Structure formats: C-alpha cells, structure tokens
Amino acid sequence: MEEAWMKELAGCCEALGCRWEAGEPLEKHTTFRAGGPAELLAHVQTGEQCAALLKAAEGLDIPVHILGKGSNLLVADEGVKGLVLHMEPKKEPFCRQENEIRAWAGENLSALCLFALEQGLSGLEFAYGIPGSVGGAVYMNAGAYGGEVKDCLTQVTFLDEQRQLRTLPAKELELSYRHSRFCGTNCVILEAVFSLKEGEKTAIKAAMDEVMEKRRDKQPLEHPSAGSTFKRPEGAFAAALIDQCGLKGLRVGGASVSEKHAGFIVNDRKGSCRDILELIQQVRKTVEEKTGYRLETEVEFWGK
C-alpha cells in the first residue's frame, strides 16, 4: 500500500473500528465470481462509519463505490479505483416495532424474510431467495413471483449526495419496475422499514418454500450469475426472446447463456468479466436484429 490516500483512509477505518483490505479481489464479493481488485475495501456496519469514510474519501477526491451482496454487479477484470464501501451484515440487523421491521441495508434480503417468518409477519415471501442485500433490493425495487419491494416498503433512511442524513416515505422514492430515485445517484441507503401483516407461520413458510422450489426448478442456481441479466422489455419477456433466437448455450470463454433459463448468463467455467460483457453484447445484438427488441441489462458495471 503505497498511495498516501490509502494510508489515510486505512487509518480512518482503524479509528472507526472498520475492517479493511487493500487490493481485495472483488470476485470474492460478487455473485458472478468475476472481477479484479478494489484498491481499498472497507467494511461498514453503521451509518456513522459510512458517513465518516465517505466524507474522508471525498475530501481526498477519491472515487467511492457502494457494495452490498454484489448480486447485480459486474466488475472489470482490472478492478476499480478508489474506495469500495462494503455494507456488511451486522449482529442485530433487524428491529420489530408492531407490524413493521426496520432493517439494516447491508443485511441479506433472505435473512430479512426469515426474520419476518420468525415474527409471524407476512408480505416478504416473494423475496425469499433473491440473492441481494436489503439496500440493493430497495435501490432497484427488486421483485419476483408477483411481488415487489414497493408493495411493503414504508420508508428509507439514507445519506443524500450532500452526505446529510435523510428519511423519506416510500411514496417519494419513485419506485417502479427495477427503479428507484436512488438509481444513478451517489446516495447511500442505510435502513429500510417494511410494513407487514400478521400471519400463520406455517402458511408463511409454505409460501416461502414454494417460491424457493420454483427458483430451484427454473433457475440455474448451481452456477455463478447475477440473476436475471436483462430487464423485461415492454410487451415481451427477455428470456423468451433469447430462447426464440436460439441463444441457449451460446458461449464466450467461461460464460454462457443458461440452458435452463435463457434470461441468465452464467459464469460456469470461471470466465472473466470480458467474457461476460462480450456475451451480453452478442445476445443484445442478435435479439435486436431478429426481433427488434433492445434488451437493457439489470446488471451494473464497475470499471477503471
């Protein structure tokens, strides 16, 4: 670690009680299992830690990326410059107040679903098995099997682009298909509150088990991926279009279009970011040429 800014931020991490690593491979922190190193990776478990490191990095004019579970992310083989703030799980990530659950953004979304089950609260069954963090789910209004985060989200606490702590109700978050007001901004989601309904634990568990069985049956969970690679185009379904074009099994290097679900690009042979990006481009080009639909990716890209 030679850069002066890295030494200063590492010192900040230690003062704040945050773990940190220099040159940490981000393939360890993404579900695609691809990508190069972060110059400096800091693990945060509180809003205070997050705010302090953001201000320190910005004062040094160092770029910052926010990382949750890395489930909708593709990182360049060369890695990323600057500071990566990893919103990691913490010891007590959830708090129940009547029929609401306050959740830390860095916690696994499925862990939130299991906590709701333990509490006998219904409304999050659809989200069980989505491999992202609570913050990531809010950021993109994650959804599956007829449900979306916006159906039960009440409010979100975040750091705005001026690094002021703010809380907004869900109705002001511009929640729509795979979108929120946070998309394309430098805001950092810290906590989310979900309003649920009391239910029978056996019925809630049965619904969660049914969702998970559907995932196992239809999705290539045995291989690294970022889930659905493409957003649903208006008037069609991405997987159906890709299948229609005969692209199941199409391969570039270590990455391929899943034979099980055409909407998934899987890293089944330890492919590189370059392999995955090239395959995405080939799929998009072929689908547009053959069907007229332009596929937009759900996956975000980080690169130097």
Residue found by looking up tokens 């409010």 in the block: 155
- Residues 131, 193, single domain; the answer is yes
How long, in residues, is the chain?
304
Please report, for the domain that includes residue 48, its CATH number: 3.30.43.10
- Residues 236, 254, single domain; the answer is yes
Which one of 228, 256, 258, 272 is the catalytic residue? 228
Determine how many CB atoms are found less than 10 A away from the CB of residue 25: 17
- Residues 60, 43, single domain; the answer is yes
- Residues 99, 180, single domain; the answer is yes
User: In 3-state terms, what secondary structure has residue 194?
Assistant: strand
pLDDT at position 2, please?
A: 64
pLDDT at position 73, please?
A: 96
298 catalytic per annotation: yes
With beta carbons less than 8 A apart as the criterion, state whether 141 and 177 touch. Answer: yes
pLDDT at position 3, please?
A: 87
- Residues 171, 268, single domain; the answer is no
Q: What pTM does this model have?
A: 0.95
- Residues 232, 175, single domain; the answer is no
- Residues 176, 100, single domain; the answer is yes
251 catalytic per annotation: no
CA distance 200 to 48: 37
Q: What is the domain extent for residue 161?
A: 94-204
Q: Tens digit of pLDDT per residue, the chain (304 long)?
A: 568 999 999 999 999 999 999 999 999 999 999 999 999 999 999 999 999 999 999 999 999 999 999 999 999 999 999 999 999 999 999 999 999 999 999 999 999 999 999 999 999 999 999 999 999 999 999 999 999 999 999 999 999 999 999 999 999 999 999 999 999 999 999 999 999 999 999 999 999 999 999 999 999 999 999 999 999 999 999 999 999 999 999 999 999 999 999 999 999 999 999 999 999 999 999 999 999 999 999 999 998 6
Residues 6+ apart with CB under 8 A from 272: 34, 77, 253, 254
- Residues 199, 109, single domain; the answer is yes
Is there a domain that residue 39 lies in?
yes
pLDDT at position 158, please?
A: 98
With beta carbons less than 8 A apart as the criterion, state whether 88 and 106 touch. Answer: yes
Is there a domain that residue 212 lies in?
no
178 catalytic per annotation: yes
- Residues 98, 186, single domain; the answer is yes
- Residues 159, 64, single domain; the answer is no
Q: How many CA atoms lie within 13 A of 197 on its CB side?
A: 8
Q: Quick one: 184 exposed, middle or buried, by C-beta within 10 A (0-12, 13-18, 19+)?
A: exposed
Which one of 21, 27, 178, 232 is the catalytic residue? 178
- Residues 100, 180, single domain; the answer is yes
Instruction: Please report how the helices 4-16 and 47-59 are oriented relative to each other, as an axis angle in degrees rounded to 10.
Output: 160
CA distance 128 to 136: 14
Triad 244, 248, 251: Cα angle to 5°:
135
CB contact burial 230-256 (16+ within 10 A = b; e otherwise): bbbbeeeebbebbeebebeebebebbb
3-state SS string over 234-292? Answer: CCCCHHHHHHHCCCCCCEECCEEECCCCCCEEECCCCCCHHHHHHHHHHHHHHHHHHHC
Which one of 24, 148, 191, 298 is the catalytic residue? 298
Number of domains, the chain: 3
